[in-house]
């Protein structure tokens, strides 16, 4: 099978590409416009494979997408390309509307035109897998909101997001992803395009751009900088190791049912403060210094509309597709910290863009010389 992966140079997308090339016989066409968070250095281990191809294309560019579909003839699409940082969506929502909504619409239309031209058997086998977030659901009751002296049922006390949970997005980011989810389902209902949707919890692991909580805390700690925590740090997230997520996504695109939604979580609900403290404890062991890293923790003003708790019920994935996460939060976080300790050059390159500029410059020169 040949899979077109949008956003394949991003954090989750690159994990999906590496998983497919390294663990299956399938081919990948990586479509990525290489924004600040897209990094080809995350794909060095697979870029030489004859089953891997890269196309620097923006998903809002319909003509370029049409060329990619015509040239590569994919059997499936895994759509991960998105603007994804909540803080950036608050200060600059326009990019989120453009990429996550208009980009998804453009990709759906390009896919639909391509799909309509396929033979009947190929049309039946084709899949469009849209990768989304649990943030579209809004937030859940927090444990400290349970009234003292009462004994609520488990569902009342600690509910979790189900595939049937209604949408209540809180930020421009989550609202744009909710919009894209609705578009994908509408293209199935209206046009018959064989789509599926997955909604995941917070990912972490190697190759994560250091604006997100875990890599930011690791690098700031090592550099002696403040470790910023919003509010009291009591926001709860379900943490999913990115390689577990990549396995799940491949399961869905190859074994999932058309029209279905699958929630993917790591079964690891942790308060943000606990996450930061655990990272500090791991660093205290691996890279000890005179004063503990936890002394660098700094509390900052909470961001507007900050959801307090997310929790994913991924029992449908286990029941229907035989998937469960392999990593616990403890084992996954240790692997993540160790990776950042051993890959300081990647961290430097992804922030200053030096590898990307050099790589694209070489490719441009080669392309020019071949004409």
Which candidate in 137, 173, 262, 310 is catalytic? 173
Neighbours of 205 (CB within 10 A): 24
CA distance 14 to 8: 5
- Measuring CA to CA, which residue among 80, 82, 304, 271 is closest to residue 171? 304
User: How far does Cα 262 stand from its chain's mean position?
Assistant: 15
Q: Are 134 and 162 in contact (CB under 8 A)?
A: no
Which candidate in 32, 55, 83, 134 is catalytic? 134
Is 134 one of the annotated active-site residues of the chain? yes
CA distance 215 to 231: 19
Six-digit token pair at 328?
A: 């616990």
Between the alpha carbon of residue 25 and those of residues 20, 31, 51, 157, 253, the distances in Å are 8, 19, 8, 45, 15
Which candidate in 55, 135, 181, 243 is catalytic? 135
Dihedral sign computed on CA atoms, order 94, 95, 96, 99? positive
CA distance 114 to 191: 13
Six-digit token pair at 14?
A: 């690159």
Is 207 one of the annotated active-site residues of the chain? no
Catalytic center residues? 134-135, 173
């Amino acid at each position: 099978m040949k899979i077109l992966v949008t956003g394949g140079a991003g954090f989750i997308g690159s994990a999906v590409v590496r998983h497919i090339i390294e663990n299956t016989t399938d081919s990948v066409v990586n479509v990525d416009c290489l924004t600040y968070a897209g990094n080809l250095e995350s794909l060095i281990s697979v870029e030489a494979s004859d089953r891997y191809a890269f196309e620097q294309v923006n998903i809002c560019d319909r003509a370029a997408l049409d060329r990619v579909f015509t040239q590569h003839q994919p059997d499936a699409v895994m759509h991960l390309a998105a603007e994804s940082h909540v803080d950036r969506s608050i200060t600059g929502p326009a990019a989120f509307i453009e990429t996550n909504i208009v980009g998804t619409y453009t990709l759906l239309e390009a896919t639909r035109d391509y799909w309509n031209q396929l033979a009947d058997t190929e049309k039946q086998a084709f899949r469009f897998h849209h990768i989304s977030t649990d943030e579209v659901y809004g937030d859940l009751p927090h444990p400290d909101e349970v009234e003292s002296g009462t004994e609520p049922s488990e569902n009342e006390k600690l509910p979790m997001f189900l595939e049937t949970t209604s949408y209540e997005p809180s930020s421009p980011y989550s609202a744009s992803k909710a919009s894209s989810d609705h578009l994908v389902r509408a293209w199935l209902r209206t046009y018959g395009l064989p789509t599926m949707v997955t909604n995941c919890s917070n990912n972490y692991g190697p190759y994560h751009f250091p604006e997100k909580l875990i890599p930011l805390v690791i690098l700031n700690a090592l550099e002696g900088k403040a470790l910023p925590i919003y509010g009291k740090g009591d926001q709860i997230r379900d943490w999913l190791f990115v390689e577990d997520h990549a396995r799940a996504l491949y399961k869905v695109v190859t074994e999932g049912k058309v029209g279905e939604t699958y929630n993917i979580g790591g079964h690891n609900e942790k308060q943000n403060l606990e996450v930061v403290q655990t990272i500090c404890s791991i660093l205290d062991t691996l890279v000890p210094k005179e004063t503990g890293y936890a002394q660098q923790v700094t509390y900052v003003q909470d961001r507007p509309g900050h959801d307090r708790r997310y929790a994913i019920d991924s029992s449908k994935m286990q029941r229907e597709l035989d998937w469960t996460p392999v990593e616990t939060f403890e084992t996954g976080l240790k692997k993540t910290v160790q990776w950042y300790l051993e890959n300081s050059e990647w961290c430097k390159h992804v922030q200053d863009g030096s590898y990307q500029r050099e790589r694209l410059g070489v490719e441009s020169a080669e392309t020019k010389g071949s004409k």
